[in-house]
Amino acid sequence: MLSLQHIVKQFDSYKANNDISFDVPAGSVFGLLGPNGAGKTTLIRIITGITAPDSGTVLLDGKVFRLENRQDIGYMPEERGLYKKMKVGEQLVYLAQLKGLSKAESTKRIKHWLYKFNIESWWSKKIDELSKGMQQKIQFIATVVHQPKLVILDEPFSGLDPINADLIIKEIDELKKNGATVIFSTHRMEQVEELCKRIVLINKGQNILEGNVTELRKQFKENQYKIEFEGTLSPKLIDSFAIRQPEPTIIEVQLAPHQTSNELLHALLDSHLNIINFQEVLPSLHDIFVKRVNECNVS
Protein backbone atom coordinates (compact mmCIF):
# COMPACT_ATOMS: atom_id res chain seq x y z
CA MET A 1 0.00 0.00 0.00
CA LEU A 2 2.54 2.57 1.18
CA SER A 3 6.25 2.25 0.67
CA LEU A 4 8.86 4.72 1.84
CA GLN A 5 12.23 4.42 0.19
CA HIS A 6 15.33 6.14 1.51
CA ILE A 7 13.56 9.25 2.74
CA VAL A 8 15.90 12.09 3.71
CA LYS A 9 14.81 15.47 5.01
CA GLN A 10 17.27 17.92 6.42
CA PHE A 11 16.76 21.29 8.11
CA ASP A 12 20.06 23.15 8.03
CA SER A 13 22.54 20.71 9.60
CA TYR A 14 19.84 18.69 11.36
CA LYS A 15 18.63 15.54 9.61
CA ALA A 16 15.02 15.03 10.69
CA ASN A 17 14.76 11.92 8.50
CA ASN A 18 17.92 10.12 7.59
CA ASP A 19 17.43 7.42 4.99
CA ILE A 20 14.18 5.97 6.30
CA SER A 21 12.62 3.05 4.46
CA PHE A 22 9.69 0.81 5.38
CA ASP A 23 6.52 -0.65 3.92
CA VAL A 24 2.99 -0.44 5.24
CA PRO A 25 0.85 -3.38 4.07
CA ALA A 26 -2.58 -2.61 2.65
CA GLY A 27 -5.48 -2.98 5.06
CA SER A 28 -3.28 -3.05 8.15
CA VAL A 29 -3.06 -0.91 11.24
CA PHE A 30 0.55 0.17 11.37
CA GLY A 31 2.32 1.76 14.32
CA LEU A 32 4.74 4.61 13.69
CA LEU A 33 6.66 4.93 16.92
CA GLY A 34 9.50 6.96 18.27
CA PRO A 35 10.51 9.23 21.13
CA ASN A 36 9.81 12.97 21.01
CA GLY A 37 11.85 14.69 18.32
CA ALA A 38 12.58 11.42 16.51
CA GLY A 39 11.32 12.77 13.18
CA LYS A 40 7.84 11.17 13.11
CA THR A 41 5.98 14.40 12.38
CA THR A 42 8.34 15.29 9.54
CA LEU A 43 7.86 11.80 8.14
CA ILE A 44 4.07 12.07 8.38
CA ARG A 45 4.21 15.45 6.66
CA ILE A 46 6.18 13.86 3.84
CA ILE A 47 3.69 10.99 3.54
CA THR A 48 0.78 13.43 3.41
CA GLY A 49 2.52 15.65 0.87
CA ILE A 50 2.66 18.62 3.24
CA THR A 51 6.42 18.81 2.72
CA ALA A 52 8.65 17.24 0.12
CA PRO A 53 11.62 15.04 1.01
CA ASP A 54 15.09 16.20 0.03
CA SER A 55 15.58 12.77 -1.48
CA GLY A 56 13.82 9.41 -1.47
CA THR A 57 10.51 8.21 -2.79
CA VAL A 58 7.03 7.69 -1.40
CA LEU A 59 5.05 5.04 -3.27
CA LEU A 60 1.31 4.72 -2.86
CA ASP A 61 -0.14 1.54 -4.33
CA GLY A 62 3.13 1.03 -6.14
CA LYS A 63 3.07 4.45 -7.83
CA VAL A 64 5.09 7.51 -6.97
CA PHE A 65 3.02 9.73 -4.66
CA ARG A 66 1.66 12.80 -6.39
CA LEU A 67 -0.10 15.75 -4.86
CA GLU A 68 -3.36 14.59 -6.49
CA ASN A 69 -3.13 11.48 -4.26
CA ARG A 70 -3.73 13.64 -1.23
CA GLN A 71 -7.46 13.00 -1.69
CA ASP A 72 -6.70 9.37 -0.80
CA ILE A 73 -5.24 10.34 2.57
CA GLY A 74 -6.94 11.36 5.78
CA TYR A 75 -4.67 12.99 8.33
CA MET A 76 -5.39 13.82 11.93
CA PRO A 77 -2.43 15.76 13.33
CA GLU A 78 -1.33 15.46 16.94
CA GLU A 79 -2.12 19.11 17.60
CA ARG A 80 -5.80 19.32 16.83
CA GLY A 81 -6.85 22.14 14.60
CA LEU A 82 -10.25 23.51 13.73
CA TYR A 83 -11.55 27.01 13.04
CA LYS A 84 -12.79 28.08 16.46
CA LYS A 85 -15.52 30.43 15.28
CA MET A 86 -16.92 28.19 12.57
CA LYS A 87 -19.91 25.98 13.12
CA VAL A 88 -19.40 22.22 13.27
CA GLY A 89 -21.49 21.33 10.21
CA GLU A 90 -20.17 24.18 8.07
CA GLN A 91 -16.58 23.35 9.00
CA LEU A 92 -16.88 19.64 8.30
CA VAL A 93 -18.53 20.32 4.93
CA TYR A 94 -15.69 22.72 4.09
CA LEU A 95 -12.97 20.22 4.98
CA ALA A 96 -14.76 17.41 3.13
CA GLN A 97 -15.08 19.61 0.04
CA LEU A 98 -11.35 20.24 0.13
CA LYS A 99 -10.95 16.48 -0.02
CA GLY A 100 -12.92 16.38 -3.24
CA LEU A 101 -16.47 15.64 -2.12
CA SER A 102 -19.39 17.64 -3.46
CA LYS A 103 -21.29 19.83 -1.03
CA ALA A 104 -24.36 17.58 -1.14
CA GLU A 105 -22.33 14.40 -0.61
CA SER A 106 -20.33 16.02 2.20
CA THR A 107 -23.49 17.11 3.96
CA LYS A 108 -25.03 13.65 3.63
CA ARG A 109 -21.98 11.84 4.97
CA ILE A 110 -21.39 14.27 7.81
CA LYS A 111 -24.98 13.98 8.97
CA HIS A 112 -24.50 10.23 8.98
CA TRP A 113 -21.32 10.50 11.08
CA LEU A 114 -22.90 12.91 13.55
CA TYR A 115 -25.81 10.49 13.88
CA LYS A 116 -23.39 7.59 14.36
CA PHE A 117 -21.61 9.42 17.18
CA ASN A 118 -24.95 10.56 18.56
CA ILE A 119 -24.04 14.22 18.21
CA GLU A 120 -26.50 15.43 15.54
CA SER A 121 -27.37 18.44 17.69
CA TRP A 122 -23.82 19.80 17.32
CA TRP A 123 -24.30 20.78 13.67
CA SER A 124 -24.88 24.45 14.47
CA LYS A 125 -22.54 24.68 17.46
CA LYS A 126 -19.37 26.68 17.15
CA ILE A 127 -16.15 24.76 17.72
CA ASP A 128 -15.13 26.91 20.68
CA GLU A 129 -18.32 25.85 22.44
CA LEU A 130 -17.09 22.24 22.48
CA SER A 131 -14.77 20.52 24.96
CA LYS A 132 -11.41 19.17 23.83
CA GLY A 133 -12.75 15.63 23.65
CA MET A 134 -15.77 16.75 21.64
CA GLN A 135 -13.50 18.61 19.22
CA GLN A 136 -11.49 15.42 18.89
CA LYS A 137 -14.53 13.58 17.61
CA ILE A 138 -15.18 16.31 15.05
CA GLN A 139 -11.56 16.12 13.96
CA PHE A 140 -11.85 12.37 13.56
CA ILE A 141 -14.93 12.77 11.35
CA ALA A 142 -13.05 15.36 9.26
CA THR A 143 -10.23 12.85 8.82
CA VAL A 144 -12.30 9.93 7.59
CA VAL A 145 -15.39 11.48 5.99
CA HIS A 146 -13.99 11.21 2.46
CA GLN A 147 -13.27 7.49 2.98
CA PRO A 148 -9.53 7.70 2.38
CA LYS A 149 -7.45 4.67 1.49
CA LEU A 150 -4.78 5.73 3.95
CA VAL A 151 -5.64 7.18 7.36
CA ILE A 152 -2.90 8.72 9.48
CA LEU A 153 -3.78 9.26 13.11
CA ASP A 154 -1.26 11.07 15.28
CA GLU A 155 -2.05 10.50 18.98
CA PRO A 156 -5.76 9.95 18.30
CA PHE A 157 -6.69 9.25 21.91
CA SER A 158 -5.13 12.20 23.68
CA GLY A 159 -7.81 14.09 25.57
CA LEU A 160 -10.41 11.37 25.16
CA ASP A 161 -12.15 9.67 28.06
CA PRO A 162 -12.17 5.83 28.02
CA ILE A 163 -15.68 5.67 26.53
CA ASN A 164 -14.80 7.94 23.61
CA ALA A 165 -11.41 6.26 23.20
CA ASP A 166 -13.24 2.94 22.79
CA LEU A 167 -15.54 4.58 20.27
CA ILE A 168 -12.54 5.66 18.18
CA ILE A 169 -10.90 2.21 18.53
CA LYS A 170 -14.12 0.69 17.21
CA GLU A 171 -14.07 3.09 14.26
CA ILE A 172 -10.41 2.31 13.50
CA ASP A 173 -11.37 -1.35 13.42
CA GLU A 174 -14.25 -0.49 11.11
CA LEU A 175 -11.93 1.44 8.80
CA LYS A 176 -9.64 -1.58 8.61
CA LYS A 177 -12.55 -3.86 7.82
CA ASN A 178 -13.53 -1.55 5.01
CA GLY A 179 -10.07 -1.91 3.50
CA ALA A 180 -8.41 1.28 4.69
CA THR A 181 -4.81 1.27 5.83
CA VAL A 182 -4.23 3.03 9.13
CA ILE A 183 -0.95 4.53 10.32
CA PHE A 184 -1.14 5.12 13.96
CA SER A 185 1.40 7.24 15.81
CA THR A 186 1.36 7.30 19.58
CA HIS A 187 3.45 7.00 22.70
CA ARG A 188 0.92 4.70 24.37
CA MET A 189 2.42 1.30 23.72
CA GLU A 190 -0.45 -0.73 25.14
CA GLN A 191 -2.67 0.76 22.43
CA VAL A 192 -0.13 -0.10 19.77
CA GLU A 193 -0.01 -3.69 21.01
CA GLU A 194 -3.79 -3.78 20.97
CA LEU A 195 -4.30 -2.24 17.55
CA CYS A 196 -1.21 -2.64 15.38
CA LYS A 197 0.00 -5.68 13.54
CA ARG A 198 3.28 -4.09 12.41
CA ILE A 199 5.36 -1.21 13.69
CA VAL A 200 8.34 0.86 12.80
CA LEU A 201 10.46 2.57 15.44
CA ILE A 202 12.17 5.81 14.50
CA ASN A 203 14.92 7.38 16.56
CA LYS A 204 17.05 10.39 15.68
CA GLY A 205 15.67 10.35 12.17
CA GLN A 206 16.52 6.71 11.52
CA ASN A 207 14.55 3.51 11.28
CA ILE A 208 15.91 1.44 14.20
CA LEU A 209 13.34 -1.33 14.35
CA GLU A 210 10.63 -2.64 12.10
CA GLY A 211 8.44 -5.69 11.98
CA ASN A 212 5.44 -7.69 13.11
CA VAL A 213 4.55 -6.89 16.74
CA THR A 214 4.30 -10.53 17.85
CA GLU A 215 7.51 -11.49 16.11
CA LEU A 216 9.34 -8.52 17.58
CA ARG A 217 8.24 -9.50 21.06
CA LYS A 218 9.56 -13.00 20.44
CA GLN A 219 12.75 -11.62 18.97
CA PHE A 220 13.37 -9.57 22.08
CA LYS A 221 12.36 -12.26 24.59
CA GLU A 222 14.85 -12.86 27.38
CA ASN A 223 14.11 -16.42 28.51
CA GLN A 224 11.81 -15.37 31.30
CA TYR A 225 8.97 -17.52 32.55
CA LYS A 226 6.12 -16.84 34.88
CA ILE A 227 4.69 -19.73 36.89
CA GLU A 228 1.60 -19.85 39.03
CA PHE A 229 1.66 -22.77 41.42
CA GLU A 230 0.47 -24.38 44.62
CA GLY A 231 2.94 -25.88 47.10
CA THR A 232 6.33 -24.98 48.54
CA LEU A 233 9.48 -24.13 46.58
CA SER A 234 12.29 -26.59 47.27
CA PRO A 235 15.82 -25.30 48.15
CA LYS A 236 17.22 -27.24 45.17
CA LEU A 237 14.94 -25.37 42.80
CA ILE A 238 15.91 -22.03 44.31
CA ASP A 239 19.63 -22.91 43.97
CA SER A 240 19.31 -24.06 40.36
CA PHE A 241 17.39 -21.15 38.88
CA ALA A 242 17.31 -17.35 39.21
CA ILE A 243 13.90 -16.95 40.80
CA ARG A 244 11.95 -13.89 41.83
CA GLN A 245 8.76 -14.38 43.83
CA PRO A 246 6.51 -11.30 43.58
CA GLU A 247 3.60 -13.16 45.18
CA PRO A 248 3.45 -16.34 47.36
CA THR A 249 1.94 -18.38 44.52
CA ILE A 250 3.76 -16.78 41.59
CA ILE A 251 7.41 -16.95 40.60
CA GLU A 252 9.31 -15.33 37.74
CA VAL A 253 12.29 -17.30 36.46
CA GLN A 254 15.16 -15.96 34.41
CA LEU A 255 16.81 -18.87 32.60
CA ALA A 256 20.53 -18.86 32.02
CA PRO A 257 21.63 -19.21 28.38
CA HIS A 258 22.34 -22.93 28.84
CA GLN A 259 18.99 -23.66 30.51
CA THR A 260 15.78 -24.57 28.66
CA SER A 261 12.11 -24.23 29.50
CA ASN A 262 11.79 -28.04 29.56
CA GLU A 263 14.50 -28.28 32.22
CA LEU A 264 12.63 -25.72 34.29
CA LEU A 265 9.35 -27.55 33.88
CA HIS A 266 10.96 -30.87 34.90
CA ALA A 267 12.51 -29.24 37.97
CA LEU A 268 9.15 -27.77 38.98
CA LEU A 269 7.40 -31.13 38.61
CA ASP A 270 10.22 -32.88 40.49
CA SER A 271 9.64 -30.43 43.36
CA HIS A 272 6.05 -31.73 43.55
CA LEU A 273 4.55 -28.36 42.89
CA ASN A 274 1.06 -28.16 41.51
CA ILE A 275 1.49 -26.08 38.33
CA ILE A 276 -1.53 -23.91 37.59
CA ASN A 277 -0.01 -21.75 34.86
CA PHE A 278 3.33 -21.87 33.02
CA GLN A 279 3.96 -19.03 30.62
CA GLU A 280 6.86 -17.52 28.78
CA VAL A 281 7.16 -13.82 29.51
CA LEU A 282 7.48 -11.81 26.31
CA PRO A 283 8.72 -8.26 26.61
CA SER A 284 6.12 -5.55 26.16
CA LEU A 285 6.41 -3.15 23.28
CA HIS A 286 7.15 -0.52 25.89
CA ASP A 287 10.19 -2.52 27.06
CA ILE A 288 11.38 -3.06 23.50
CA PHE A 289 10.93 0.62 22.72
CA VAL A 290 12.92 1.74 25.76
CA LYS A 291 15.62 -0.88 25.26
CA ARG A 292 16.13 -0.19 21.57
CA VAL A 293 16.10 3.59 21.91
CA ASN A 294 18.56 3.46 24.80
CA GLU A 295 20.85 1.14 22.85
CA CYS A 296 20.85 3.53 19.93
CA ASN A 297 21.41 6.57 22.10
CA VAL A 298 24.40 4.91 23.80
CA SER A 299 25.95 3.82 20.53
Partner 1 sequence: MRTILIIIQREYLTRVRQKSFVVTTFAGPLALILLTFLSLKMSTYSGSVKTINIIDEGNVLHQMPLPDKSDHSLYFKYTPLTAQQISEQQATNIDQVYLILPKTDTLRLLSNLELKYFGTKQLGRADREYVEKVIADKLQLQKLKVFNHSQEEIDNWEIKTKLEYISTKKDAEDTAYNDAAAAIGLLTGLVIYIMLIFYGVTIMRGVMEEKTTRIIEVIISSVKPFQLLLAKIIGIGLVGITQFVIWVILLVGLNLVLLPIIGLDTTHMVNMGPGAALKSSSVDLEMMQNMIIGFSKINYLKMFFTFLIYFIGGYFLYGSLFAGLGATVNEEGETQSISMIVTIPIMASFFISTAVINDPSGSLAVWASIFPLTSPVVMPVRMPFNPPLYQVLLSVFLLFATFIGSTWIAARVYRTGILMYGKKANFRDIVRWFFYKG
Residues that bind partner 1 (CB under 8 A): 11-12, 45, 48-52, 54, 67, 70-71, 73, 75-77, 79-86, 94-95, 97-99, 139, 142
Question: In the bound complex, what is the minimum distance in angstroms from residue 86's beta carbon to partner 1?
Answer: 7
User: What residues contact 135, with CB distance under 8 A and at least 6 apart?
Assistant: 80, 82, 127
For strand 150-154 and strand 181-185, is the pairing parallel, antiparallel, or unpaired? parallel
Q: What is the DSSP string of 162-192?
A: HHHHHHHHHHHHHHHHTT-EEEEE-S-HHHH
Estimate to the nearest angstrom the gap between the alpha carbon of 110 and the chain centroid: 26
State phi, psi for 163 to the nearest 5 degrees: -65, -45
91 vs 203, which CB is nearer to partner 1? 91
Question: In the bound complex, what is the minimum distance in angstroms from residue 93's beta carbon to partner 1?
Answer: 10
Question: In the bound complex, what is the minimum distance in angstroms from residue 40's beta carbon to partner 1?
Answer: 13
Question: In the bound complex, what is the minimum distance in angstroms from residue 97's beta carbon to partner 1?
Answer: 5
Tell me the sheet residues that pair with 225.
253, 280
Q: What is the DSSP string of 212-236?
A: EHHHHHHHT--SEEEEEEES---HH
Q: Half-sphere exposure (CA, 13 Å, Cβ side) for 232?
A: 2
CA distance 184 to 169: 11
Backbone dihedral region of 110: left (phi > 0), alpha (psi from -120 to 50 degrees) or beta?
Answer: alpha
Question: In the bound complex, what is the minimum distance in angstroms from residue 52's beta carbon to partner 1?
Answer: 6
Question: In the bound complex, what is the minimum distance in angstroms from residue 283's beta carbon to partner 1?
Answer: 34
50 vs 256, which CB is nearer to partner 1? 50
87 vs 204, which CB is nearer to partner 1? 87
Question: In the bound complex, what is the minimum distance in angstroms from residue 200's beta carbon to partner 1?
Answer: 20
Residue 159 to residues 16, 29, 32, 152, 155, Cα–Cα distance (Å): 27, 21, 20, 18, 9
CA distance 51 to 43: 9
100 vs 231, which CB is nearer to partner 1? 100
63 vs 85, which CB is nearer to partner 1? 85
20 vs 76, which CB is nearer to partner 1? 76
99 vs 217, which CB is nearer to partner 1? 99
